[in-house]
C-alpha cells in the first residue's frame, strides 16, 4: 500500500527557544583555557567556530488543512531568530493554503524561488530543513506511520550509537564519564580536538588507556588542521584504530580533502556543512574528498537527506547522519534517518542535549543498552506541549 504524502499547509509558525538555566553545549570541557564569552556566545581556544553560550534553537510548527500538527527544528544554534523570521514573515505567506504533491515538491519550490539570487545555503536552507521535518512529521501522524517507514520500506528496528563529545574538565573526569556510559552498553565516543596533533594524541591515548573497553573512538578537529597536521593526524589516529577522522581541513578546501583521502591512515568523514545535494555532489565524486558522508538533518531535512544519501551511495560512499546542537525534535528527526542509514557505522548521539525541553517534550526515543529501538509512534516520535514551551520562548 502506497502512503499518501500529498498535503496542504493551513498554518506555519516558528518560535525561538533558549535554555538559559542549563549547561552550555561544551559543559566544562576546556573551560579554563582562555575562552572568550559574551552574553550569548562563547569562543574556545584553538577552534574558529563560535558556539552558543547556552542552547538556542528554532522550532517550527506546521498545521495541515485537516488539523494534523507536525514539528520541525533546524540545527541553527547561532541566530535561530533568523530562521523564525524567515518562516514567520516570508515563507508562511508563500506556502500556506497551497497544495503540494509531496514534501519533495515543497522543497523544490522553496529552493527554486531564491536559487537565482544565490540563497543556496545558510539560514534560508535551515528554514527549509525545519519546515521539511515538520511536514514529514505531520504526514506521518496523519498516515499513522513513523517517518523512517515512509522513507524506506525496511528501516532498521534497532541501532547502536556513539556519544558525541566527552565534555568534562579533566582527563580523569572524562575517563570516568566514558566508563559510566560504557556501563549502559555504549560502544563508541567521539572526542573534539584542535589541530595540535601532539596534544590530540595525548588526549586520545589517555582516554583509550582509561576506558579500554570502549570499542570505537572517533576524532573531530572542527576544521582546524593545516595540510601537514591533517596528514600527521590521519596517520597517528589511524594507528590508534580511530573509526574516522572528522572535519580535518577548512570546509571549503575540496582539493585539500581530495589529497588527504589518498594518504594512509584513518578514514576521513565530513558533511555537516552541506545544506543541499548541489553542494555535496562534487565531494563524493572521483577523486572523492571523503570516506564517510555525514549529512546533518537539521540542515538538509528528510527530503534532501534521502537525495544526498542516494548520491553518496551511487559513488560507493556510506552515510551516517551527523547530530549537532538541537533538542528533542531535531534529535528525533536524526534518529529516524539513522534507521535508514548505513548499518556499518554507529549513530552519533548528543546525550547531554536530549532532555533540554523537559516536560514540554514527550519523546518515544528512549536510549537503552547502547542504542535505540525505532518507536512505533507515528511521525518523528515526539509530541510537544505548547503551553509548557512558554518559559523557553524568546520574544522579539
The CATH code of the domain that includes 172 is 3.20.20.120
Cα 156 to Cα 152, 251, 323, 339: the distances in Å are 9, 31, 18, 5
Instruction: Indicate whether 2 belongs to any domain.
Output: no
Same domain as 265, residue 372: yes
Same domain as 165, residue 132: no
Same domain as 145, residue 177: no
Instruction: Indicate whether 70 belongs to any domain.
Output: yes
Q: Is the pLDDT of residue 106 over 90?
A: yes
Count the domains in the chain. 2
Interval 138-160 mean pLDDT:
98
Q: Is the pLDDT of residue 233 over 70?
A: yes
| C-alpha grid cell, residue 78 | 547561532
Same domain as 129, residue 11: yes
Same domain as 265, residue 130: no
Tell me, what's the pLDDT at 3?
87
User: How many Å apart are CA 190 and CA 242, to the nearest integer?
Assistant: 9
Evaluate if pTM is beyond 0.95.
yes
Q: Is the pLDDT of residue 81 over 90?
A: yes
Same domain as 82, residue 129: yes
Tell me, what's the pLDDT at 297?
98
User: How many Å apart are CA 208 and CA 222, to the nearest integer?
Assistant: 21
Contact criterion met (CB below 8 Å) for 393 and 16: yes
Contact criterion met (CB below 8 Å) for 263 and 237: no
Same domain as 251, residue 233: yes
Same domain as 310, residue 266: yes
Q: Which domain holds residue 144?
A: 7-149+389-394
Cα 244 to Cα 143, 168, 235, 284, 335: the distances in Å are 38, 22, 11, 16, 20
Tell me, what's the pLDDT at 21?
80
Domain CATH number, residue 40? 3.30.390.10
Same domain as 248, residue 104: no
Interval 238-264 mean pLDDT:
98
Please provide the average confidence, as pLDDT, over all residues in the chain. Answer: 96
Q: Is the pLDDT of residue 282 over 70?
A: yes
pLDDT band with cut points at 50, 70 and 90 for residue 246: very high
Tell me, what's the pLDDT at 1?
55
Each residue's pLDDT tens digit, 201-210 = 999 999 999 9
Tell me, what's the pLDDT at 75?
97
Same domain as 256, residue 169: yes
Of 32-36, 68-72, 129-133, 142-146, the range with the lowest mean pLDDT is 32-36
Same domain as 276, residue 165: yes
- Element at 188 (helix H, strand E): strand 188-192
Residue whose cell numbers read 591515548: 205
Instruction: Indicate whether 135 belongs to any domain.
Output: yes
User: How many Å apart are CA 102 and CA 87, to the nearest integer?
Assistant: 19
151 closest CA partner among 161, 160, 143: 143
Instruction: Indicate whether 1 belongs to any domain.
Output: no
Tell me, what's the pLDDT at 27?
83
Same domain as 348, residue 210: yes
Instruction: Indicate whether 350 belongs to any domain.
Output: yes
Helix axes 122-143, 103-115, angle to 10 degrees: 160
| C-alpha grid cell, residue 186 | 555504549
Of 25-34, 244-253, 385-394, the range with the lowest mean pLDDT is 25-34
Tell me, what's the pLDDT at 33?
78
Each residue's pLDDT tens digit, 10-30 = 999 999 999 988 777 788 888
HSE, CB side, 13 Å, CA atoms: give it for residue 181: 30
Amino acid at each position: 500500500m502506497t502512503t499518501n504524502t500529498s498535503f496542504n499547509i493551513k498554518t506555519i509558525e516558528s518560535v525561538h527557544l533558549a535554555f538559559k538555566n542549563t549547561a552550555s553545549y561544551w559543559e566544562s570541557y576546556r573551560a579554563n583555557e582562555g575562552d572568550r564569552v559574551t552574553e550569548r556566545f562563547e569562543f574556545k581556544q584553538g577552534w574558529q567556530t563560535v558556539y552558543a553560550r547556552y542552547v538556542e534553537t528554532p522550532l517550527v510548527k506546521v498545521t495541515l488543512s485537516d488539523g494534523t500538527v507536525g514539528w520541525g527544528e533546524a540545527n541553527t544554534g547561532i541566530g535561530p531568530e533568523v530562521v523564525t523570521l524567515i518562516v514567520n514573515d516570508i515563507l508562511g505567506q508563500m506556502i500556506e493554503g497551497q497544495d503540494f504533491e509531496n514534501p519533495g515538491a515543497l522543497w523544490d519550490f522553496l529552493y527554486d524561488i531564491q536559487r537565482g539570487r544565490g540563497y543556496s545555503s545558510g539560514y534560508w536552507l535551515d528554514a527549509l530543513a525545519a519546515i521539511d521535518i515538520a511536514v514529514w512529521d505531520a504526514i506521518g501522524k496523519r498516515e499513522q506511520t513513523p517517518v523512517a517507514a515512509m522513507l524506506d520500506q525496511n528501516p532498521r528496528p534497532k541501532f547502536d550509537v556513539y556519544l558525541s563529545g566527552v565534555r568534562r574538565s579533566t582527563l580523569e573526569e572524562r575517563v570516568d564519564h566514558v566508563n559510566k556510559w560504557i556501563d549502559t552498553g555504549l560502544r563508541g565516543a567521539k572526542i573534539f580536538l584542535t589541530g595540535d596533533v601532539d596534544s590530540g594524541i595525548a588526549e586520545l591515548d589517555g582516554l583509550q588507556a582509561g576506558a579500554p573497553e570502549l570499542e570505537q573512538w572517533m576524532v573531530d578537529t572542527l576544521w582546524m588542521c593545516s595540510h601537514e597536521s591533517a596528514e600527521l593526524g590521519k596517520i597517528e589516529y589511524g594507528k590508534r584504530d580511530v573509526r574516522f577522522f572528522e572535519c580535518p581541513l577548512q570546509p571549503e578546501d575540496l582539493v585539500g580533502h581530495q589529497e588527504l583521502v589518498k594518504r594512509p591512515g584513518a578514514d576521513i568523514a565530513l558533511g555537516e556543512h552541506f545544506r543541499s545535494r548541489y553542494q555535496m555532489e562534487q565531494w563524493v565524486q572521483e577523486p572523492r574528498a571523503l570516506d564517510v558522508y555525514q549529512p546533518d538533518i537539521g540542515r538538509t531535512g528528510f527530503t534532501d537527506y534521502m537525495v544526498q544519501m542516494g548520491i553518496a551511495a551511487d559513488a560507493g560512499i556510506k552515510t551516517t547522519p551527523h547530530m549537532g546542537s538541537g533538542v528533542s525534535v531535531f534529535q528525533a528527526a536524526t534518529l529516524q534517518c539513522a534507521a535508514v542509514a548505513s548499518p556499518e557505522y554507529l549513530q552519533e548521539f548528543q546525550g547531554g542535549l536530549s532532555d533540554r525541553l523537559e516536560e514540554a517534550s514527550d519523546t518515544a526515543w528512549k536510549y537503552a543498552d547502547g542504542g535505540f529501538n525505532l518507536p512505533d509512534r507515528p511521525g518523528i516520535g515526539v509530541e510537544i506541549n505548547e503551553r509548557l514551551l512558554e518559559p523557553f520562548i524568546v520574544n522579539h
